[in-house]
């Protein structure tokens, strides 16, 4: 059974409109809690994940759903990403910290995987009501318009975001060489950062200890628009714990990736 990619987008948009947006800037204090210090979860996260699970399973009978909040309760769920023939990976609200603070920088992210390979991906911004969709080998569309990244331009004007907390060495290297780059922008929402890279407002991103639900949807959408991503040793982002935690650089092309890697981290 094939996936109706537009039907998935409609489901995501509907749930965002009925569960997430009515609570934006209207959350009561008892509707926000912390999974760990500084990592909030809201009733909207939990309800959206439950509803997405139900609707996605109906779209693809026999599949399974792995959601961020489900993984928090049972981390072993991630072991199914590589082995199962049909998996939906869901982040019901990417950027929950922003959402809970009333900042319009959050989104819904979904990826569909077969035996560990991402076959399709969706990022929906409920505030702007826009959706990016990518299908493996078929390109990326933003609200129906085919998107190709602009890989040209002056590296010294490139806007980038860095998520390097926990790696002091890389942080020192990047800070010491950032004068060769353009503005530094951190949106605290991977999905919004991937959307910003599609629009050209952001040119590259660097992640460390990246969770699959934060990265797999964006990585396919970015790649199908012509981008390149890789860990600093050149290997691809992997699903195993030891490879998920490695530094990941996302750039508009392979040559840009190499230039940024060389400029910021002095690696050839």
Binding-site residues: 68, 91, 93-94, 214
E strand or H helix at 50, and its extent? helix 43-59
Strand partners, 161: 205
Alpha helices in the chain (DSSP H): 5-15, 43-59, 68-73, 80-83, 96-101, 168-177, 190-199, 212-224, 241-244, 254-265
Based on the number of CB atoms within 10 Å of its own CB, is 127 exposed (0-12), middle (13-18) or buried (19 or more)? middle
Question: Binding-site residues for Mg(2+), please?
Answer: 68, 91, 93-94, 214
Residue located via tokens 């390097």 = 164
Q: How far apart are CA 111 and CA 95, in angstroms?
A: 17
Answer positive or negative: Cα dihedral of 101, 30, 213, 262: positive
Q: What does the alpha-carbon distance between residue 45 and residue 19 come to, in Å, rounded to a whole number?
A: 9
Contact 48, 15 (CB under 8 A): yes
* Gap between the Cα atoms of 247 and 231, Å rounded: 5
Specify the DSSP class assigned to residue 106: -
**CA 234 vs CA 178, 237, 246: distances in Å:** 21, 9, 11
Residues 6+ apart with CB under 8 A from 44: 19, 20, 23, 27, 31, 92, 93, 99
Q: How many residues does the chain have?
A: 268
CA distance 53 to 166: 33
């Amino acid at each position: 059974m094939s996936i109706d990619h537009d039907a998935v987008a409609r489901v995501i948009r509907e749930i965002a409109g009925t569960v997430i947006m009515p609570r934006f800037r209207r959350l009561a204090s008892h509707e926000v809690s912390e999974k760990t210090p500084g990592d909030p979860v809201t009733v909207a996260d939990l309800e959206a994940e439950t509803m997405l699970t139900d609707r996605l399973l109906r779209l693809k009978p026999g599949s399974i759903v792995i959601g961020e909040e489900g993984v928090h309760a049972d981390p072993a769920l991630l072991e199914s990403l590589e082995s199962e023939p049909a998996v939906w990976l869901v982040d019901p609200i990417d950027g929950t910290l922003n959402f809970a603070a009333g900042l319009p920088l959050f989104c819904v992210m979904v990826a569909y995987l077969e035996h560990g390979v991402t076959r399709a991906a969706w990022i929906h911004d409920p505030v702007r009501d826009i959706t990016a969709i990518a299908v493996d080998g078929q390109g990326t569309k933003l609200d129906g318009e085919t998107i190709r990244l602009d890989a040209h331009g002056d590296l010294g004007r490139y806007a980038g975001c860095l998520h390097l907390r926990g790696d002091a060495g890389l942080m020192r290297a990047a800070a010491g060489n950032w004068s060769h780059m353009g503005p530094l922008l951190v949106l605290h929402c991977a999905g919004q950062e991937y959307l910003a890279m599609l629009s050209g407002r952001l040119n590259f991103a660097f992640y460390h200890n990246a969770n699959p639900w934060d990265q797999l949807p964006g990585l396919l959408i970015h790649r199908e628009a012509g981008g390149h991503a890789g860990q600093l040793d050149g290997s691809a982002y992997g699903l195993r714990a030891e490879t998920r935690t490695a530094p990941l650089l996302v750039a508009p092309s392979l040559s840009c990736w190499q230039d940024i890697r060389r400029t910021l981290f002095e690696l050839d």
